[in-house]
Amino acid sequence: MPIIDVDAHFEPGESWLEAFPDLKSRLPESDQLEFIVEFTVGDLIRRVPTEKRPEARDLIPPVLVEALFEEKAGETARRGEFEGQPALGGAADGAARIRWMDTQGIDYQSVICLSGVEAAKVLPDAKLAQEAVGACNDWLADTTSPFSDRLFPVTVITGTDMEWTVQELTRMRARGSRQFIIPANPVGGVPACHPDWDRVWSAATDLGMIAMVHGGFDRSEFDPGWANTGGDMVLLRRLAHSQRHQNSEVLCQALIYGGVFERHPKLTVLFAEVGANWLPFIRREIDSRVSGLSTLHCGEYEYPMLPSEYMERNVRITPLPTQPQEDPNALMRELVPEMVLFSSDFPHLEGSAEPMAYYEGLLETASEEAKKGFYGNNANEAYARMGDPIF
């Protein structure tokens, strides 16, 4: 039973830039604390008068306070061979990663590095942002290349230039990439369901690449009134967390109602680390918006398949191996088994160093066919639909 891990990470901090000294000299010095605040609640906190803003450390999630400023109890054991790497970021060693995969029985893994997009997010120069993202993609491809039969670099894009995006996908596919991360919310006022994106979807299916929506790539966009929480930072963080899920919900429906999956029937969009329980609700609800009284408000539905059928064919989701509410058994029952994929999110704090033991416990009563699908066959079938299966 081959096992495919569709969401894991190589996060090297700033060390990746050592391979690109010229680029490093042109990038502003990064402030990770400032970046996280901007990334998670920046759109809200900018609406609060400076004198009323809490300290930056109070604005970021407690787990990141722990990762950035405090050594987590038992962190040494969790990191294992990756001792010496910062807790936020984790391992970026290909040989050590393969050894860890072997202990888990994981055959293949797609690995993400968001360091380049972190740099790009604060750059007003779009070309420099593309250069930073492309360089980080290269760093990841270089790092995984000695193990290209098992480690696949995930391509990151900026979402601002479709021609550059197609070129980057083509370039990175030649370097072993099988997935690329897309924004859940509109970039420059253009959502991913817009016809401008069709050239990207065509390239993805021609190249055999899965599009991936991943937590941490987008930031929330709220009505400014939500910033007024009476100083309740826990509430503010929870609202920001909820909005991240809502961005994914809206994008999922926009791709279906916007005809993206009708125009690109082989395309697969995978949702990772954006929650999982919203998708069964949307699947139950989505067909009601194209029939009955909904047509009085929304007009006639024009596509040959039901929205839920496009979802079953083209949308996939992966739960986190630390969240009991994201039980793959329940997801496979409420969706269809083929829609649910395995991932470890290793070595992130919300991931697991022992994902197989975690899931084996949950899947004890699942059928052998469902287990094989979850662990690898479902992902492989998505690649096969685009003409390039792994096995």
Cα–Cα distances (Å) from 103 to 76, 81, 120, 211, 354, in that order, read 18, 12, 36, 29, 9
Q: Give the tens place of pLDDT for each residue, 56-100.
A: 777 776 766 666 665 444 444 544 554 444 333 346 789 999 999
In a domain, 246, yes or no: yes
| pLDDT, position 206 | 97
| pLDDT at residue 11 is higher than 90 | no
In a domain, 390, yes or no: no
4, 342 Cβ separation under 8 angstroms = yes
pTM for this prediction: 0.88
| pLDDT, position 65 | 67
Q: What is the CATH number of the domain that holds 223?
A: 3.20.20.140
Per the structure, the count of domains in the chain is 1
Q: Give the tens place of pLDDT for each residue, 196-235.
A: 999 999 999 999 999 999 987 666 566 667 767 776 767 7
Provide the residue range defining the domain that includes 164.
4-385
153, 215 Cβ separation under 8 angstroms = no
In a domain, 192, yes or no: yes
In a domain, 391, yes or no: no
Considering only CA atoms, give the Rg of the chain: 21
Query: Phi and psi of 340, rounded to 5°?
Result: -110, 125
User: At 333, is the pLDDT very low, low, confident or very high (cuts 50, 70, 90)?
Assistant: very high
**Sequence-separated (6 or more) residues with CB below 8 Å from residue 230:** none
In a domain, 328, yes or no: yes
